[in-house]
Structure 1
Amino acid sequence: MANTIPLLATVPAPAYSYPEFRALVGSLSAEHRTSGPDQNPAFVRFTDQNQAHLDRAHAVPLLPELVAKLAALPRPETWLVLGEAWCGDTAHTLPILAHLAEKSEGNVTLYVVLRSDHPALMAAHQTNGGNSIPKLIRRDAATGADLGDWGPRPAAAQTLAHQLHANKSLHTNQIVKTMNAWYEADNGEAVQQELLKLLA
């Protein structure tokens, strides 16, 4: 269940801590369901598969210079991450963001918000007119002012995804496998390098 932690005024409800989101994915998988209104069997299958991606991604090495940058932020930040249980890009990226927040010495508090629960927030943070996830939204923890956003993928992964989707001969499963392989080979490097530039 969401919201067992106190929410700030700058955080829309419902929202999940990262452990709560992990528990949500586990319970949905056990019930052969997924988050959001679309209970497509493929989405249900991806939700189950994403548990392994979530575990792997949380264990990738963090860049010391990025951890240091977060520990030295001039003001505390709230990170909202728009995602869904079935989304593979969310499963590969969210754990890294959560791990960084954990290592920020209290400067970053992360919440996961489901795209299906927050259409207005998603509409305000689209990518090229699309509701692409995950989307990291940085906010000043005190005022709620937007400090910028990132997502849905590192630039190299975004280019690859466009190429794969443009190839109409590829089945969705082939696209998913190729993207999974990219994330595993990258091992969290690209997203962290882009965040480092974002915070510079």
Structure 2
Amino acid sequence: MKNIIENSLLKSMSYTEYRNRITTLLSEGKVTGNEQSEALLHYTELNETRMNRLEKTIQIAEENAAKLNHLKKDYIWLVISEGWCGDSAQIVPVIHKMAEVSAHIDLKMVFRDENEELMNLFLTNGTRSVPKLIVLDKNTLEVLGDFGPRPQGAKQLILDYKAQHGMVDEKGKAELHMWYFHDKGLSIQQEIIDLMEKIN
């Protein structure tokens, strides 16, 4: 496992580099990952707008910022993501803002399809769902915990929708994004803070 993590870290990038890669590919009519399609291009365009808005509007609650600032150790937050993923667009900007407020957190981004071995270590019910935040001890690279691909409330909404409709269609996706909009990143913050408090 350690070798896989070390290799992924060698290929990792900053949040700004991650955003720039998505934007550059979009300008060429392409998306991140192994698959290219009109649908994925459309989702990526929507996600660019979402991420731009979230970067301006997301606030890290003062008490959360204080907790992140008072972590006892230094950590790497390694995030697996893709530009076309709607959940990533809602969650990754919040993770970025949280990492920014703490000198104890170094945020690194990797793309899922470029890091298959890493992704396969962090499957969700057998699926390669993103985003996935992996918390590493900065000195030893030991895996201390992970979060994702969705906060509990969003997970429940999708489970309920699937139970009712048999699948998640465009209406289901719209409901999910409305949930994120109303939540304002608070559930994501709380669940990650809870994880860090357990680890720390």
Q: Tell me the TM-score normalized by structure 1.
A: 0.89
Task: Tell me how far apart the structure 2 counterparts of residues 143 and 55 of structure 1 sit (CA, whole Å).
Answer: 34
Higher helix share: 2
Q: Secondary structure at the match of 1:95?
A: helix
Counterpart selection for 2:194 from 175, 180, 197: 197
Q: Given the alignment of the two structures, is residue 25 of structure 1 paired with residue 22 of structure 2, yes or no?
A: yes
Distance 1:109 1:48, change over 3 A: same
- Aligned partner of 1:12 in structure 2 is 9
- 4+ residue stretches of structure 1 with deviation over 4 A? 8-11
Q: Given the alignment of the two structures, is residue 138 of structure 1 paired with residue 147 of structure 2, yes or no?
A: no
Q: Secondary structure at the match of 1:137?
A: strand
Conserved in 1, the CA contact under 8 Å of 2:33 and 2:82?
A: yes
Q: Given the alignment of the two structures, is residue 120 of structure 1 paired with residue 156 of structure 2, yes or no?
A: no
Task: Tell me how far apart the structure 1 counterparts of residues 7 and 106 of structure 2 sit (CA, whole Å).
Answer: 11
- Aligned partner of 2:88 in structure 1 is 90
Task: Tell me how far apart the structure 1 counterparts of residues 113 and 6 of structure 2 sit (CA, whole Å).
Answer: 20
Task: Tell me how far apart the structure 2 counterparts of residues 164 and 35 of structure 1 sit (CA, whole Å).
Answer: 28
Query: Once the 2 structures are TM-superposed, how far is the Cα of residue 73 of structure 1 from its aligned partner?
Result: 1.1
Task: Tell me how far apart the structure 2 counterparts of residues 10 and 119 of structure 1 sit (CA, whole Å).
Answer: 11
- Aligned partner of 2:73 in structure 1 is 75
1:26-83 residue CA offsets vs partner (Å, 9 max, x unmatched): 1122112111111121111111111111122223111212211111111110001111
- Which structure 1 segments of 5+ residues have no match? 1-7
Query: Once the 2 structures are TM-superposed, how far is the Cα of residue 12 of structure 1 from its aligned partner?
Result: 2.5
Q: Tell me the TM-score normalized by structure 2.
A: 0.89
Task: Tell me how far apart the structure 2 counterparts of residues 25 and 11 of structure 1 sit (CA, whole Å).
Answer: 18
In the alignment, residue 55 of structure 1 is paired with which amino acid?
Answer: N
Task: Tell me how far apart the structure 2 counterparts of residues 22 and 81 of structure 1 sit (CA, whole Å).
Answer: 13
- Aligned partner of 1:186 in structure 2 is 183
- Matched residue pairs, number? 191
1:93-141 residue CA offsets vs partner (Å, 9 max, x unmatched): 001111111110x210101111101111111111122211100000011
Counterpart selection for 1:44 from 41, 50, 63: 41
Conserved in 2, the CA contact under 8 Å of 1:57 and 1:93?
A: no
RMSD over aligned Cα atoms: 1.8
Task: Tell me how far apart the structure 1 counterparts of residues 179 and 26 of structure 2 sit (CA, whole Å).
Answer: 24
- Aligned partner of 2:153 in structure 1 is 156
Task: Tell me how far apart the structure 2 counterparts of residues 181 and 35 of structure 1 sit (CA, whole Å).
Answer: 25
